[in-house]
Structure 1
Amino acid sequence: LLAPAPCSPPAPFLLILVPSAPSHRDRRLAVRDTWGGPWGDSGTPPSRTVFVLGVTANPDTRRELLAESRRHGDILQGDFGDTYANLTWKTLLLLRWARACCGGAPFLLKADDDVFVHVPAVAAHLAAWPAAPPPRLYLGRVHWAVAPNRDPRSRHHVPAGLYGAARYPPYCSGTAYVLSRRAAAAVLAAARAVPLALPEDVWVGVGAGRAGLVPRHWARLGGALRVPAERCCLGRALLSAHGLGPARLRGAWRRLREPGRACPELLRGALGRIRCRIMAWGERIWGRGGDGTEE
């Protein structure tokens, strides 16, 4: 219904795909003004951000979306209701658009609109991979041995008739993960055999498993962690944080961008980084992951 222009050559190094909701205009503006916009560093590999939305029945919101799309040129809208149950449809649409309209981008970063991602550090990690990144790379905070939610009262309910196995295959947290171009194509090829009613991140993981992709764990992506958005934590120990509203996104951006600002004293900065790493380790061991707690 709404679509951004295709990528012009040269294609961006990192195509950032952000599921959003029609009413989340303030979140999209904050992402554009912070991590999803230009970082102003000539040494940072180029990126491009696209938001994906469904349909709303509110006529005022529809008019606002049309104006927003015309102004920013970064909204992709699918012809399906914008509901929580349709999050997987958004990812499917994003992957299809990326393949058809920005097929030259070597990497895709999917991240939610309440997540902060240190994009230059992620891009630098990919660009500096020893030798070369695996051609079929699926990278993020991996959840292992997660059981489907069988509670019919939960919006994350997955009945045995939809997915009968006792455990999901390993998959990356849906808050932020990276797919190489070939990995995204492999997930799309397997998509028709994977139920779209699965949780979004699980759907990608099941498709990746069917395609023979093994997710690579990267502890520096914070998953569902709501970490303190400190300079010494977000950017040094972790490269993404979840659950940040527009004001906190802008605050994290300001702290990371302030020229010459160092971590507060050596000992305090080191302790802050250790605390963030311990939080990340604990989320890996005890985090609930795929039961739908990550939104």
Structure 2
Amino acid sequence: FLLVLVPSAPSHLPRRLAVRDTWGRPPPTTTPSSPPVTRTLFVLGVPPTPNSQRELLREWRLHGDLLQGDFGDSYSNLTLKTLLLLRWALTCCGGAPFVLKADDDTFVNPPAIATYLLSPSTPRRLYLGRVHWRVAPDRDPRSRHHVPARLYRDSAFPPYCSGTAYVLSRQAAAAVLAAAPRVPLVGPEDVWVGLCARRAGVAPRHSARFGGSARVPPERCCLGEVMFSAHRLRPHELRGLWGGPGGACGVVQRLLGVLRCRGLALWEWLWGG
């Protein structure tokens, strides 16, 4: 039902292990009352050394959840990774109605997202995440987010979903891929997806339950019951959150919901955690 594809770097084995141990763990055998089935795969490029490639092969034999593209693994090639994962999703897993792209340092709540996607009001061409509006291109050639004017001349990008975590329906992913040959490989990759979506006539849908680039502290109520995703969590934080003390949110916590989680994120930003 929900195919989760996670771009990762060859050196990020601790992050991949943490995801496998927590939210990316294969679900147990389903029952009629179980949430829809999800599957998580990691997407990588070619590492710089043969020894690193041998380590990836060993990891693949052990876990069977790596997808590798025939291009160098670098931040500048993240758009190629996204192109690869979308092509693979439609070609090799076309029965999945939804694809979720998430960073490897992101907490994701697949059952909550899947339940949300089951709503009858979910559009066929869905592009869902935390939407950024009126973001200006970075013209600094020293920045890894540099966008030269020859690739994109406008003063602001169209609305797009934060690349930390976003969902595309199968129909929306197909539309993005159909538009891709007419869109330059502008980075960052989430901007490129937004440009393809605009050309395809697919409008992004905003949900405040996606954390975006803000760091929501690893608090069990916020990340376990309120948020769909949260960025910049370290492996030990993911494991502690997943296996930490139980306890559901209280009534007030649930009513405040996203507002409370955003308040925690703002507090961390102001006081440095």
**TM-score of the aligned structures, taking structure 2 as reference length:** 0.90
Matched, 1:60 2:51: yes
User: Which residue is 1:262 aligned to?
Assistant: 248
Alignment check: 8 A CA contact 1:85 1:197 kept: no
SS of equivalent to 1:222 = coil
For residues 260-279 of structure 1, what are the alpha-carbon distances to aligned partners after superposition, in whole Å with 9 as ceiling and x for unaligned?
A: x234x666787786431446
Q: Which amino acid aligns with 1:147?
A: A
Structure 1 residue 62: Cα displacement: 1.0
Structure 1 residue 74: Cα displacement: 1.1
In the aligned structure 1, how far is the partner of 2:203 from the partner of 2:124? 12
SS of equivalent to 1:165 = coil
One of 216, 228, 240 as aligned partner of 1:251: 240
SS of equivalent to 1:140 = strand
In the aligned structure 2, how far is the partner of 1:123 from the partner of 1:271? 22
What is the total number of aligned residue pairs between the two structures?
263
One of 193, 203, 211 as aligned partner of 1:214: 203
Matched, 1:202 2:191: yes
SS of equivalent to 1:250 = helix
In structure 2, the CA distance between the partners of 1:90 and 1:175, relative to structure 1 (3 Å rule), is same
- 37-46 or 102-111, larger mean C-alpha shift: 37-46
Structure 1 residue 121: Cα displacement: 0.3
SS of equivalent to 1:168 = coil
In the aligned structure 1, how far is the partner of 2:84 from the partner of 2:11? 19
Alignment check: 8 A CA contact 2:107 2:238 kept: yes
Structure 1: which 5+ runs fail to align?
1-12, 283-295
SS of equivalent to 1:79 = strand
What percentage of residue pairs aligned between the two structures are identical? 66
Q: Which amino acid aligns with 2:204?
A: P
In the aligned structure 1, how far is the partner of 2:53 from the partner of 2:65? 15
In the aligned structure 2, how far is the partner of 1:106 from the partner of 1:272? 28
Q: Which amino acid aligns with 1:32?
A: R
User: Which residue is 1:34 aligned to?
Assistant: 22
SS of equivalent to 1:248 = helix
In the aligned structure 2, how far is the partner of 1:122 from the partner of 1:97? 22
In the aligned structure 1, how far is the partner of 2:261 from the partner of 2:114? 21
In the aligned structure 1, how far is the partner of 2:86 from the partner of 2:256? 40
Alignment check: 8 A CA contact 1:54 1:82 kept: yes
Matched, 1:104 2:89: no
Q: Which amino acid aligns with 1:122?
A: I
One of 115, 124, 132 as aligned partner of 1:124: 115
One of 145, 150, 155 as aligned partner of 1:161: 150
In the aligned structure 2, how far is the partner of 1:270 from the partner of 1:123? 21
In the aligned structure 2, how far is the partner of 1:274 from the partner of 1:169? 26
For residues 142-191 of structure 1, what are the alpha-carbon distances to aligned partners after superposition, in whole Å with 9 as ceiling and x for unaligned?
A: 00011100111111110111100111000000000000000000000011
Taking the TM superposition and a 5 Å limit, the aligned residue runs for 1:14-33 are 14-33=2-21
Alignment check: 8 A CA contact 1:110 1:178 kept: yes
User: Which residue is 2:216 aligned to?
Assistant: 227
In the aligned structure 1, how far is the partner of 2:57 from the partner of 2:149? 41
Structure 1 residue 198: Cα displacement: 2.1
